[in-house]
């Protein structure tokens, strides 16, 4: 399925429709044009001098029945332009599609409107557009500016127009960033072939495992995160435009045409649902939260084993010898912020009556904050993974002999598991009484409890794991092969032994 945000040329069977101007044939994005990194755009302009001058305020576009202007305090409290101007590109794309549909239905002549919208877009992207708080939000600012530019025809643009926005492009961006992080983790795994680290359970060091196996755990979690984003995008890809206030309209609009022009699957089926639905925001914020939790766990790994490069570290203001992995500590910390954004919108939506309520204005800031934060967390995690090395000597000194593997060793020699568990438990008791580790015991001391003991080092211990997708060397090589194939990573720099194992794994995958 193609998930681009471009607006296709509008055409229906047997009918020739006016095409959208070529300037619309590009991705809908949170980005200012020409930006190299995908992030929410900055707030572009300071508020105008109209804000504090009640006498200079223009009549509201909705103000026909009102005899008084709203007070300055009410206006400042209810405005949303200070943050929802980030949706200018989505609003412009919707305006163009809506105007073209109205023209096709002979409800307006589109060309002066489309040209005016293009001019406004150029001003916004050139930082020449004046955002005004007395025009409340991004929709009203653009519509009022269009009226200033072309006059009366602009007032027809709102005909049968719903004012709801769906933001899909952020999901597409996040999925790309997740793949970049997965690739960085797979490459980090290849750079540390055969490195054994302590596993952990109950906050204690447990069985030895390959570092590659640990890193691939994060890759698997991120793959599920990407799947959640794909599911979320599929569910939100329905167009609310044309629902109007909540009841729809008696005008002969073509909602299917508008939905198609904006790349939606189809229009939403119920006009009340269209203006009151925020499920898509909640699902997106949940996907962000789940990803943030996984990234926070990545930031919890044992930092004493790794050495980040200077370019992804900070220094202690007191201790000159210290180098701190602050980026990953902040990844842990910012996960709370992303989860908080989800809780904010959950609380916002709880118990709201149908249909539209102004409360929904408050979903924008948590949505923008969550999006910006999760993108930053993914980016810095990938940067960190590309610029970290591991202290092999320190890791080797930390590795205990694995009691579980010793018990399994005895089982393979024919001893019942319960008996082997008892024998190894007695060995651990000896170690506790002496204040030593299992690896400190001699082979002769072990054979006093069981004559079947043979030499079993940490490397042998790890290689004994052979069950499907376990931490054994061959199993992990197959896992790496799967991810190299899936992520389409160039493998020319991999070692020959690994290449053979990868090739076998890939062929197995293709069967």
The alpha-carbon radius of gyration of the chain (Å, integer) is: 30
Q: Which residue has the higher pLDDT, 466 or 476?
A: 476
Q: Which residue has the higher pLDDT, 216 or 444?
A: 216
* Burial annotation 180-209 (CB, 10 A radius, 16+ → b, else e): bbbbbbbbbbbbbbebbbbbeeeeeeebbb
Contact between 49 and 8 under an 8 Å Cβ cutoff? The reply is no
* Catalytic residue, candidates 23, 35, 316, 419: 316
Per DSSP, which regions of 39-98 are E strands? none
Q: Which residues contact 490 (CB under 8 A, 6 or more apart)?
A: none
Whose structure tokens read 């002769």? 444
Which backbone phi and psi does 12 adopt, to 5 degrees?
Answer: -125, 160
Q: Enter the tokens of residue 99.
A: 């105007």
SS3 sequence, 88-146? Answer: HHHHHHHHHHHHHHHHHCCCCCCHHHHHHHHHHHHHHHCCCCCCCHHHCCHHHHHHHHH
In degrees to the nearest 10, what's the CA dihedral of 152, 156, 161, 166?
Answer: -60
Which backbone phi and psi does 321 adopt, to 5 degrees?
Answer: -80, -10
Is residue 316 flagged as an active site residue?
yes
Considering the segment(s) 22-54+67-156 as one domain, its CATH architecture is Orthogonal Bundle (1.10)
Q: What is the pLDDT of residue 159?
A: 55
Q: How far apart are CA 158 and CA 62, in angstroms?
A: 11
H helices of 304-451, in order, are 326-349, 364-386, 392-398, 403-412, 417-434, 443-449
Q: What tens digit of pLDDT does each residue of 244-292 get?
A: 878 888 888 899 998 898 888 999 999 999 888 889 999 999 999 999 9
Sign of CA dihedral 435, 439, 443, 448: positive
Q: How far apart are CA 483 and CA 223, in angstroms?
A: 10
pLDDT band at 461 (very low <50, low <70, confident <90, very high): low
pLDDT band at 474 (very low <50, low <70, confident <90, very high): confident
Q: What tens digit of pLDDT does each residue of 411-421 get?
A: 766 778 888 78
Q: How far apart are CA 96 and CA 17, in angstroms?
A: 13
Please check the confidence at residue 456 and state whether its pLDDT lies above 80: no
Q: How far apart are CA 267 and CA 237, in angstroms?
A: 9
Q: What is the mean pLDDT of the chain?
A: 77
Q: What tens digit of pLDDT does each residue of 197-209 get?
A: 877 778 777 678 8
Contact between 18 and 104 under an 8 Å Cβ cutoff? The reply is yes
Residue 46 C-alpha from the chain's centroid: 30
Q: Which residues contact 258 (CB under 8 A, 6 or more apart)?
A: 97, 98, 101, 239, 241, 242, 267
Domain with CATH 1.10.40.30 in the chain: 402-456
Name the region of 10 (left: φ>0; alpha: ψ -120 to 50; beta: rest): beta
Which backbone phi and psi does 495 adopt, to 5 degrees?
Answer: -70, 155
Q: How far apart are CA 239 and CA 285, in angstroms?
A: 20
Q: Enter the tokens of residue 287.
A: 């996907």
Terminal C-alpha separation, the chain = 24
Please check the confidence at residue 404 and state whether its pLDDT lies above 50: yes
Report how far apart, in Å, the C-alpha atoms of 13 and of each of 10, 17, 257 are: 10, 10, 11
Is residue 112 flagged as an active site residue?
no
Q: Kindly report whether the peptide bond that precedes residue 133 is cis, defined as omega within 30 degrees of 0.
A: no
Closest to 482 in 3D by CA, of 306, 175, 223: 223
Domain with CATH 1.10.275.10 in the chain: 22-54+67-156
Considering the segment(s) 170-396 as one domain, its CATH architecture is Up-down Bundle (1.20)
Q: Which residue(s) pair with 390 in the sheet?
A: 306
Contact between 61 and 143 under an 8 Å Cβ cutoff? The reply is yes
Whose structure tokens read 């940067």? 383
| Average pLDDT over every residue of 303-332 | 78
**Consecutive H or E run containing 199:** strand 196-201
Domain with CATH 1.20.200.10 in the chain: 170-396
Any idea which of 62-71, 428-437, 459-468 has the lowest mean pLDDT? 62-71
Q: What tens digit of pLDDT does each residue of 51-70 get?
A: 445 445 565 555 556 667 77
Q: What is the pLDDT of residue 111?
A: 67
**Consecutive H or E run containing 180:** helix 169-190
Please tell me whether residue 160 adopts helix, strand or coil conformation: coil
* Catalytic residue, candidates 202, 311, 442, 467: 202
Q: Which residue has the higher pLDDT, 185 or 251?
A: 185
**Consecutive H or E run containing 227:** helix 211-236
Kindly state the percentage of the chain with pLDDT values over 70.
73
Give burial (CB, 10 Å; 0-12/13-18/19+) of 442.
Answer: exposed
Please tell me whether residue 10 adopts helix, strand or coil conformation: coil
Listing DSSP states for 289-316 in one string gives: HHHHHHHHHHTTS-GGGEEE-GGG-EE-
Q: What tens digit of pLDDT does each residue of 33-51 get?
A: 444 433 434 444 444 444 4
Q: Enter the tokens of residue 194.
A: 């055969």
Query: Per CATH, is 402-456 categorized as 2.30.36.70?
Result: no
């Amino acid at each position: 399925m193609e998930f681009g945000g471009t607006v296709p040329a509008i055409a229906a069977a047997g009918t020739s429709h006016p095409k959208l101007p070529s300037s619309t044939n590009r991705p809908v994005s949170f980005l200012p044009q020409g930006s190299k990194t995908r992030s929410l755009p900055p707030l572009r302009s300071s508020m105008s001098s109209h804000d504090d001058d009640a006498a200079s305020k223009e009549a509201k576009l909705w103000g026909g029945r009102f005899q008084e202007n709203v007070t300055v305090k009410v206006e400042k409290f209810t405005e949303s332009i200070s943050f929802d101007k980030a949706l200018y590109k989505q609003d412009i794309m919707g305006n163009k599609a809506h105007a073209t549909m109205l023209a096709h239905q002979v409800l307006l002549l589109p060309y002066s409107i489309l040209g005016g919208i293009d001019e406004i877009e150029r001003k916004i992207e050139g930082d020449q557009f004046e955002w005004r708080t007395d025009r409340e939000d991004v929709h009203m600012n653009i519509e009022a500016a269009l009226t200033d530019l072309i006059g009366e025809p602009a007032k027809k643009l709102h005909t049968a127009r719903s004012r709801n926005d769906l933001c899909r492009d952020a999901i597409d961006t996040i999925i790309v960033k997740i793949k970049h992080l997965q690739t960085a983790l797979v490459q980090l795994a290849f750079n540390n072939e055969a490195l054994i680290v302590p596993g952990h359970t109950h906050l204690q060091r447990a069985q030895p495992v390959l570092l590659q196996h640990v890193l691939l755990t994060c890759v698997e979690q991120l793959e599920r995160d990407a799947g959640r984003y794909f599911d979320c995008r599929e569910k939100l890809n329905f167009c609310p435009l044309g629902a109007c206030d909540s009841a729809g309209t008696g005008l002969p609009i073509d909602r299917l045409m508008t939905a198609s022009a904006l790349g939606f699957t189809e229009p939403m089926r119920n006009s009340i649902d269209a203006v009151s639905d925020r499920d898509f925001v909640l699902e997106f914020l949940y996907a962000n939260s789940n990803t943030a939790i996984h990234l926070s766990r990545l930031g919890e790994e044992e930092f004493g084993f790794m050495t980040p490069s200077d370019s992804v570290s900070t220094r202690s203001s007191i201790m000159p010898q210290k180098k701190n992995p602050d980026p990953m500590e902040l990844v842990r910390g910012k996960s709370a912020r992303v989860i908080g954004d989800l809780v904010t919108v959950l609380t916002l939506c709880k118990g709201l009556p149908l249909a539209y309520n102004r409360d929904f204005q408050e979903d924008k800031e948590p949505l923008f904050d969550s999006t910006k934060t999760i993108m930053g967390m993914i980016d810095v995690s990938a940067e960190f993974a590309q610029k970290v090395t591991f202290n092999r000597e320190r890791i080797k000194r930390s590795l205990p002999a694995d009691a579980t593997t010793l018990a399994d060793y005895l089982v393979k020699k024919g001893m019942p598991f319960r008996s082997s568990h008892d024998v190894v438990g007695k060995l651990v008791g000896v170690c506790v009484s002496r204040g030593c580790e299992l690896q400190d015991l001699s082979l002769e001391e072990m054979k006093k409890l069981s004559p079947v003991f043979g030499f079993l080092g940490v490397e042998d211990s790890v290689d004994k794991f052979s069950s499907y997708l376990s931490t054994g060397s061959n199993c992990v090589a197959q896992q790496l092969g799967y991810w190299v194939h899936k992520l389409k990573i160039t493998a020319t720099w991999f070692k020959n032994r690994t290449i053979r194992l990868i090739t076998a794994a890939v062929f197995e995958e293709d069967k």
